[in-house]
A and B are shown apart, each in its own frame.
Chain A
Amino acid sequence: MNPVLPQEAVEFAGTARRAFESLGGVDVARRAEADPDSREDVAKLLADLGVDELDPLADPEQAAAAAALCEAAGRVALPYPVGGVVLRSAAGLPVAAVPAAPVRVDHGDLFDMWLACGPAGETMPARAVGAPLGTRLGPFVTDLEPVGGAAEDVLDPASGQALLAWWLTLSAWTILGGLDRAVELATAHAQDRIQFGQPLTAFQTVRFQLADAAIAVAGLRELALFTLWRLHAAPDHAWPDVVALRSHALDVARPVLRATQQLHGASGLCDEVDICVLVRHLQPALRLPAGAEDTARELAAAIATDGFDGLFPHGATAGDRTSA
């Protein structure tokens, strides 16, 4: 039992966090909205970090480094599809987990071609079409159009499912980073903000909201670590674990983002305040390729078919006294 990220991954994450801070932290997301081409600076920085060399499927150490990188990206709403780029295809295409229709992905406009991964793990090369949505909640969400592709980019279903599993897991680590930062921001704001002659944290109801948000994020972190371990320790049985992580990340995100933004009062709605940018830029990750309720339904189906690792058997073998 050793449920901690390897030291190399922790150090790599530290380097990534410092690098992202050097771009201005959350300002990097504000800048991207004003000047979408500024995302090229992020691409260069990621290349300098050696992201092109990372292969999370290769071994647990690289998986941990990729996860920690995605978490660091989530903390600053990094305007770049880090997980998809880390999971590039054999032909070097970035990977996008996409809904059945419309086929769309965040920052789809950054690359001409993607390897799109559908809900059942089916893969297809896809071309970015049209301009990004440009909305406040999905500034860079872009539609893709499947096209015929080279054989090396059309994976067998098992490989496609594995790629989907990794994409969802890395995406959950990005969400984790955003939520963790949201709790830090709300805590600091509540300590600084004086109302009725005292800091907001003097009010027990505020303390309780912060505590609940922190516990929710702590629980998501444990689940993210566990799932990362399962993907290498039991790759053939980890699909329900991945969907559980995705489902839990979405379930936790709603109350945590709501509470942390609420604690900022009206300022939390302003783009000059970091929580607002975090909340807006996390939305694509929370809605694509599927939202909380669809994901929970997928989880129920996955458990019924494949069971759920734990102290007692679940799914098809539930109730057996001898197996677990």
Chain B
Amino acid sequence: MDFDLGEEAALLRGRLRALIDANMPPGFLGAFTDDPSDLATTQEFCALLAREGLLTVAWPTEYGGQGGSVWAQTVVREEMWAHHEPRGAQYMGLNWVGPAIMAFGDDEQKRRHLPPIAEGSVIWCQGFSEPDAGSDLAALSTRATEDGDGWRLRGQKIWTSYAGMAQWCVLAARVGPGERHEGITMFLVPMDAPGITVVPIESMLGPHHLNEVFLDDVPVGPDGLLGEVGGGWSVIRRALAHERVGIARYARCERLLSLMAGELRATAGRLPDHLAVQWARALTQVRVARLLAYRAVLAQEAGGPPDAAASAARIAVTRCDQLVAELLFQVLAERSLEAGPSAPLAGAIEDHWRYAQAATVASGTLEVQQMIVAKDLLGRSR
């Protein structure tokens, strides 16, 4: 029995931290701020990671990746999220759009789309959710109709992260009269195509995160079809499975707890006993969430259906996100509502609290994950 991630993982973690320390500005809180230089910083950092051979650690070598172990990939997820995702919006292209194109794309699509992702020069967004198809994604109604040898897209997407910054969108639409999973088809759509309108949604997450995307007879060439007509649900399942294990929220929780404890020590601040006890419990919860996430990684590596383990991990990880956010707000007390560079930890805790509220909704709600876990439990009981 061994819980050590190994020497390769430790070296990789050290390299990533050194690069982040040397290249990310102090107080960086992600690409989705009102300051456009934050987006530029992430674009430069992606290019740097690409030059260092660290952007596509997870990708197979035949596509220019490093073929890194699942634990190397885990380290990347942890370090990136812990440090407020210095890859900005590009993580989505790296984590699942690229791999989906490898799995379902034709040679021309691979030649066209994979190199820009691997070089860190393109942002992808994901057009899944619709006003009437959230948790119940198979209810989506955006339609794709044949037009010559290509397609026309008509409908609306919502909650589309980074739609305002993305160059490309991987988008699910329905072909033909089918219902539910039948007819769902995946398209690769340039965001500057005529007929696309992006409308930002004001939210507590800050700018750029949530958007509506209106599709008004958007033309897509034959080269925009990813996989087979009607084969889109397989792509979606692959994407969602990846997302469930994808975000190592526990890593940011742990880093913020560490930084805040250091801050308290430096200022000779002392926690009241009841908060010190909550803190100890929170650290334990963070460890449990991390270990459950590792179990989900192992389940995926073993090739079995990752659903229940991934959902259990996701529930633990997202709840831990909110637990730590609330604890740190208790610690900051009257200063908890301050934001920006002058706020405690340069606003990182205020930022974390806001994002944590979305953790149990994004990429599949807490309730959907609970249903997956329950279904597995009931199946095993019989």
Interface residues of chain A, those whose CB is within 8 Å of chain B, are: 1-6, 60, 64, 183-184, 187-188, 191, 201, 204, 207-208, 210-212, 214-215, 218-220, 222-223, 225-226, 228-230, 233, 244, 247-248, 251, 293, 296-297, 299-300, 303-304, 308, 310-315, 318-321
Contacts and interface: CB of A to CB of B under 8 A. Distances in A.
A273 to B, nearest CB: 17
A207 B286 contact: no
A72 to B, nearest CB: 18
A226 B277 contact: no
A241 B371 CA distance: 32
Given A3-B3, A4-B1, A318-B265, A208 B281 contact: no
27 contacts: A3-B1, A187-B377, A191-B378, A191-B382, A201-B378, A204-B371, A208-B370, A214-B373, A214-B377, A215-B315, A218-B295, A223-B288, A225-B3, A226-B287, A233-B2, A247-B280, A248-B285, A297-B273, A299-B277, A300-B276, A311-B82, A312-B258, A312-B259, A314-B283, A318-B262, A319-B260, A319-B263
B351 interface: no
A3 B291 contact: yes
A228 B3 CA distance: 10
B272 to A, nearest CB: 11
Nearest to A184: B381
B374 interface: yes
Given A215-B316, A303-B280, A312-B255, 12 more contacts: A2-B2, A3-B294, A5-B1, A204-B371, A210-B377, A218-B292, A219-B292, A233-B3, A299-B277, A300-B277, A310-B283, A321-B21
B318 to A, nearest CB: 11
A219 B288 contact: yes
B284 A299 contact: yes
B291 A311 contact: no
A310 B286 contact: yes
A64 B2 CA distance: 12
Contact of B262 (A207, A219, A220, A319): A319
Contacts of B5: 1
A1 B4 contact: yes
A247 B382 contact: no
Q: Which 5 A-B pairs have the closest CB atoms?
A: A319-B262, A318-B261, A222-B291, A207-B374, A312-B258
- The B interface, classified by DSSP as helix, strand, loop or mixed, is helix
Contacts of A230: 3
Contacts, number: 168
Contacts of B263: 319
B3 A296 contact: no
B251 interface: yes
Contacts of B273: 297, 300
B288 A296 contact: no
Contacts of A183: 377
B254 interface: yes
B292 A210 contact: no
Nearest to B279: A300
B321 interface: no
Contacts of A304: 276
Contact of A187 (B21, B251, B370, B381): B381
A244 B371 CA distance: 29
Contacts of B377: 183, 187, 210-211, 214
A71 to B, nearest CB: 14
Contacts of B277: 293, 296-297, 299-300
A296 B78 contact: no
Contact of A311 (B251, B316, B375): B251
